[in-house]
Amino acid sequence: MKVCQLKLGPMDNFSYLVWDEAAKDAALIDPAWQPEKLADVVKREGVKPACVLLTHGHPDHVNAVRYFTAGAALPVYLHEADHCMLEEAPTGLRSMADGDVLKAGPLEFKVMHTPGHTPGSVCYAIGDALFTGDTLFIGGCGRVDLPGSSAEDLYDSFVKLAALPDAAAVYPGHSYNGDTSTIGVQKEYNFYLKLARQGRREDFLRSIS
């Protein structure tokens, strides 16, 4: 499996292209801003997009979806709780739930529903990689002061993430405090994940309010 991480747009968003080197099937994760740069990687690597995976419905993570779905029958996966955030539903919009497995050729992405930043936020796990969107940042976490956000839900989501293997590589939705890490490193140095790992719910809620 190959992963291309692209930092794009005015908010240091990350878009990802993930593909199987043999089959050349690829998943586009959170295509937003400057879609031509992501399209250039698709062309250079000779891969075929098989699906679009969205971590949540905020505009800065979805605003290039139509660039890739115009004239193409690509399934676009977004948790149903975030469908209402879309200005216009793209062709091929599909829902998914916690534990679902989404395929791009031989690649299999397991859905982890991680609400908090938005009601429908998810992370995608594949192999030793975890694409966390705006749920978990390097050294931080997503905002919970926006419509639909919930600090209580984010705590529960962080408890779930804290149970993952230390070796899991973290690929966040923004370049805040770094571009990649591991769950093990974040358990030690991410204040919020440390609190969740230790079961300190009230401290977590106080610190994030």
State the catalytic residues: 56, 58, 60-61, 117, 134, 174
Give yes or no for a contact between 139 and 183, defined as CB atoms under 8 angstroms apart: no
Closest CA to 142 of 114, 100, 169: 114
Q: Is 4 buried (19+), middle (13-18) or exposed (0-12) by CB count in 10 A?
A: middle
Neighbours of 146 (CB within 10 A): 11
CA torsion through residues 16, 20, 23, 24, sign: positive
